[in-house]
Amino acid sequence: MQSRTIQTDGLTQRVLEAGSGPLVLLIHGFPELGISWRAQIAALADAGFHAVAPDMRGYGGTDKPEARDAYSILHLVGDMVDLVRALGETSCVVVGHDWGAPVAWHCALTRPDLFRAVFGLSVPFQPRRPRGPPTAAMAAISKRLGLGDHYISRFQADDAHAVFDADPATALRKMFYAYDGATPDGRQSTGFIPEGQSFISTAPDDATLPPWMSETHFAEYVAAFSASGFRAPLDWYRNLDRNWALTAHLQDARVTVPAAFVVGERDPVRNYSGQHEAGLKDWAPDLRMQVVVPGAGHWIQQERPDEVNRRLLDFLRLPGVA
> What mean pLDDT comes out for the span 97-102?
98
Residues 6+ apart with CB under 8 A from 70: 57, 235
| pTM to 2 decimal places | 0.97
> What mean pLDDT comes out for the span 63-77?
98
Cis peptide before 31 (omega within 30 of 0): yes
Q: Domain residue spans in the chain?
A: 2-130+249-316, 134-238
Confidence at residue 140, expressed as pLDDT on a 0 to 100 scale = 85
Confidence at residue 44, expressed as pLDDT on a 0 to 100 scale = 98
φ and ψ of 94, to 5 deg: -110, 135
C-alpha atoms less than 13 angstroms from C-alpha of 225 in its C-beta half-sphere: 26
- Contact yes or no for 200/174 (Cβ under 8 A): yes
241: exposed, middle or buried (Cβ count in 10 Å: 0-12, 13-18, 19+) = middle
Question: Could you give the CA distance from residue 54 to residue 301 in angstroms, rounded to a whole number?
Answer: 16
Is it the case that residue 41 has pLDDT exceeding 90? yes
Alpha helix stretches (DSSP H) within 186-319: 215-228, 231-238, 240-246, 270-273, 275-278, 280-283, 300-303, 305-316
Question: Could you give the CA distance from residue 233 to residue 58 in angstroms, rounded to a whole number?
Answer: 6
pLDDT digits (tens, 9 = 90+) for 256-313: 999 999 999 999 999 888 889 999 999 999 999 999 999 999 999 999 999 999 999 9
φ and ψ of 168, to 5 deg: -55, -40
Annotation says 98 is catalytic: yes
CATH of domain 2-130+249-316: 3.40.50.1820
Straight-line distance from the first to the last Cα atom of the chain, in angstroms, rounded to the nearest whole number: 21
Is it the case that residue 139 has pLDDT exceeding 90? no
The rounded mean pLDDT for the chain is: 96
> What mean pLDDT comes out for the span 124-131?
94
250: exposed, middle or buried (Cβ count in 10 Å: 0-12, 13-18, 19+) = middle
Is it the case that residue 31 has pLDDT exceeding 90? yes
Is it the case that residue 145 has pLDDT exceeding 90? no
Q: Which of 63, 79, 98, 149 is catalytic?
A: 98
Annotation says 205 is catalytic: no
